[in-house]
Copies of this chain bind each other. A is one copy, B any other.
């Protein structure tokens, strides 16, 4: 049996990544999407000398000449045009968020003042020029790049987009994904299975794994009939960028997927990976001649629930991340919390429960009953990736980890 290593499988998949173009969306709907333009400061930040404490604004020179009591000329409110201090020996009350009044260069907060009869008296020995003033352009200058292209948009970026007026923002288009289950044993979630049947679950797991990437995938079910499979898959290849299958890729008499994909001109890039779970994983690509830069990508995952689950995380996620311009290298690691033994010459994705202590991440095995044991995924929260060239893994060793919560 000719198995592809996990490393080679991932490399092949990453080499098959592709862009899906750019679209413009309302900034408030861009959370979790990937920015496809540099976001520039449209003015200095802050855009004016901004009062940062409620109090009075004065001229430092007056203070330094010994004056401590200042007649209040008026109030500089936030949101009002800039006032001018008429008499340098006076003051203006000034509110947080307001423009610093013209003629002033110091703000003294109310906590340090006594106000009586329209006069503010300052209880201070010294002041510092521009104290309590957030200086124009201090944070960033007009024209500065605030968010770089290819940033994954979080709440922090949403605030910055609002600040600079990017009510519409260019983001990576998401691939159109169809998730297909096969297998005559499957019935719908709201049905009672016959004795020999089970409910359809992998497609829904996949839908929700893709929802985490903000991809709205569609789903279909096809019975194990080669002719029907060909007709439907051909139509899906025309309409979607990516097809994800779950099941029918192994050696069974009704495992038609590899054959049908071959018939439909999808080039197999590998079939069977040196891993557990998920050995029968098939991956391929169809180059569409009519539109030269367009191609269709097919992930045909094995049907066991844990296989489908971890393969989606290990292979589809980085493929997607590279496709939209994100950093796709998983640098997360965890420390094995007890000795573990695994004999087969396969990369093993060990189900683990993570815990943190003193800034360190520990992984405790929670291995379950094999690739069919879906329920065990509930009791774990990550997969520790144990390399294929060893059988003994010692407590305290560090391995890559794939989180799913």
> A230 near B: Cβ within 8 Å?
no
Bound complex: CA A146 to CA B97 (Å) = 53
Let me know if B190 and A81 touch, CB within 8 A. Answer: no
Q: When A47-B198, A361-B361 are in contact, do A98 and B372 touch as well, CB less than 8 Å? A: no
> A18 near B: Cβ within 8 Å?
no
Give A365-386 as 1s and 0s: 1 = Cβ < 8 Å from B's Cβ atoms: 0001110111111101100000
In the bound complex, residues from chain B placing their C-beta under 8 Å from that of A80 are 184, 196
Let me know if A79 and B196 touch, CB within 8 A. Answer: yes
In the bound complex, residues from chain B placing their C-beta under 8 Å from that of A195 are 47-48, 81-82, 99
> A22 near B: Cβ within 8 Å?
no
Contact size range, A: 35 or more
Nearest opposing residue in chain B for A151, CB measure? B378
Please tell me which one of the listed residues B99, B165, B204 contacts residue A190 in the complex, with CB atoms under 8 A apart. Answer: B165
Q: A404 to chain B: closest CB distance in Å?
A: 6
> A344 near B: Cβ within 8 Å?
no
The 3 closest A-B pairs by CB, nearest first: A79-B184, A79-B185, A156-B377
28 contacts between A and B (CB under 8 A): A28-B207, A28-B208, A31-B208, A45-B374, A47-B198, A52-B372, A54-B250, A54-B252, A78-B183, A80-B184, A81-B194, A81-B196, A95-B252, A95-B253, A97-B303, A99-B196, A109-B251, A134-B370, A139-B374, A154-B404, A156-B377, A158-B204, A159-B202, A159-B204, A165-B192, A332-B356, A359-B360, A359-B362
Known: A52-B304, A79-B224, A139-B373. 6 other contacts (CB 8 A): A41-B375, A52-B370, A54-B253, A134-B369, A162-B200, A334-B359
